[in-house]
Amino acid sequence: MANNNVQPIFILPEGTTKASGMNAQKINIEAAKQVADQVRSTLGPKGMDKMIVDALGDVIITNDGVTILQEMTIEHPSAKMIVEVAKTQEDEVGDGTTTVVVLAGELLKNALPLLEKGIHPTVIAKGYRIAANKALEILNSDIAKPITVKDKMTLAKIAETAMTGKGAENSKEMLSQLAVKAILDVAEDDVVDISNIKVEKKVGGSIEESQLVEGVIIDKERVHSGMPRNVENAKVALVNTPLEIKNTEIDAKIQITDPMQMQAFLDQEEAMIKKMVSKVVNSGANVIFCQKGIDDLAQHYLAKEGIFAARRVKESDMGKLARATGAKIINNLEDLSKEDLGHAGNVQEVRIADENMIYVQKCKNPKSVTILVRGGTSHVAEEVKRAMDDALGDLAATLNIGKVVAGAGSPEIELAMKLKKFSESLSGREQLAVEAFAESLEVIPRTLAENAGLDPIDIVAALKSAHDQKQITYGIDVFSGKVKDAWKMGVIEPLKIKTQAVSSSAEVAIMILRIDDVISGGSSVPDRDQGSMGGMMPPGM
């Protein structure tokens, strides 16, 4: 006989909430859509900016997708997953963060009607994987065009495309030339390590005063006013050891009973400092950058010898100095020799915006360069720096992959149309998922049109008509409101922006769709007396 008085068993702590099945999926999809909606209006040349004010009152004005999402306080776990996708896009390419977030949101939005029809999430996930793989294949084989380091005009167009719609847009021609020159300076065998390009910003002056230094700018100043401010034909020593008397690693006392002992002690210290300085002098160096400290007495002797010195230089800057000048970083001053020195045409201390900076420039064949961006306010300078970072990221991604695509929404429309045709070759419910994926890709041109104040239905229809006629580079000219050849307009993007956006957005959408339970932990702590059964005992036991 059944026992109707069995008490319920609670396996989770008090206060725990749980959403299951379709309810959990709807909550997750809605969270992802809200994140996408936060940045959607920033997409494209006519995208708007966001003002973010933090708890301390600091203000950030930007239309950079990843910056907006990082500065917002997002709590929902699914929403955080979308933010992670934007960060991945930023790390891998440096641009396209808004695109990947908007696309991920649309993939999840278009999956919801399929779920409501009773299609299992794993079937949708399989269809999305098939579509993503096919999309990557189409991008590489049918849409992308090859490019080399010699095609400077196309590289400049890529940089300009990255800056269009940002705070630096009015000066994009000049800034794009700086970006291309910097990339070509550090490129080795058509491969670019973007870490060898330093972007330094300084408030004051106009954006047009931004400049490229074929060398390194260090945000430091010479350690002694008696040192030369400007050194021509600089022989540069890089030292990762202090030019000062080291403290003992253990506590120690020196007992002095005679004034003469005290003087002898000081004389010995001075002799040790002199020996260090003589090592620098004997090497032939007239400029020294030290990653550690430089003693006051050492500063005095270096100044007397006419040697320019800077201390506590960041490790990252030391690496860039080594790449720019060809110097070796020395860990022991005893080992410093003429062969370890680097060379620069000029090293000087320059005053910019009430601060001193050190320019190490005119280096022979520098493999590390610096772009100094200027702006009338801190907000402008920061936004110009972000635009420059995007342009450099796009150029590096272009040369490292060697392929580009036309922009302005043209690759997304071409992909959408070819995926819809491809879906007809499939049988089973995966076909519906591939169609949903294809429809989701249309969100990019549709959003570009909306943000430009155009009718998205008319624009998408015109795009499809052009692509039906094999005009695969046709996209939206948001300034004229017409459909034109994006390649001829100079709207060009790296292939990697599109491939990374497609693969990342598909992966996060699949991951979120496969979640059928959302369990939010309670605040209660299990009773220790219950041991491993804590939180699993029914009430009253």
Q: What residues are labeled active site?
A: 64, 97-98, 390
CA distances from 504 to 102, 178, 217, 507, 535 (A): 12, 31, 36, 5, 38
Distance CA 413, CA 443 (A): 9
What are the DSSP calls for 54-116, one per residue? -TT--EEEE--HHHHHHHS----HHHHHHHHHHHHHHHHTSS-HHHHHHHHHHHHHHHHHHHH
Q: Which residues contact 46 (CB under 8 A, 6 or more apart)?
A: 165, 451, 452, 453, 478
Q: How many CB atoms lie within 10 A of CB 53?
A: 11
Task: Specify the pairing of strand 329-330 against strand 230-239.
Answer: parallel
Q: Using DSSP, state whether 441 is helix, strand or coil.
A: helix
Instruction: Give the HSE-up count for residue 447: Cα atoms under 13 Å, Cβ half-sphere.
Output: 26
Distance CA 109, CA 26 (A): 9
Cα torsion through 443, 447, 41, 477, rounded to 10: 140
Count of residues for the chain? 541
What DSSP element (H or E) covers 324?
helix 315-325
What are the DSSP calls for 112-136, one per residue? HHHHHTT--HHHHHHHHHHHHHHHH
User: How large is the greatest C-alpha to C-alpha distance in the chain, in angstroms?
Assistant: 104
Q: Of 106, 96, 120, 142, which is closest to residue 443 (Cα–Cα)?
A: 106
The pair of three-digit structure tokens given for residue 272, joined into one six-digit string: 């040790």
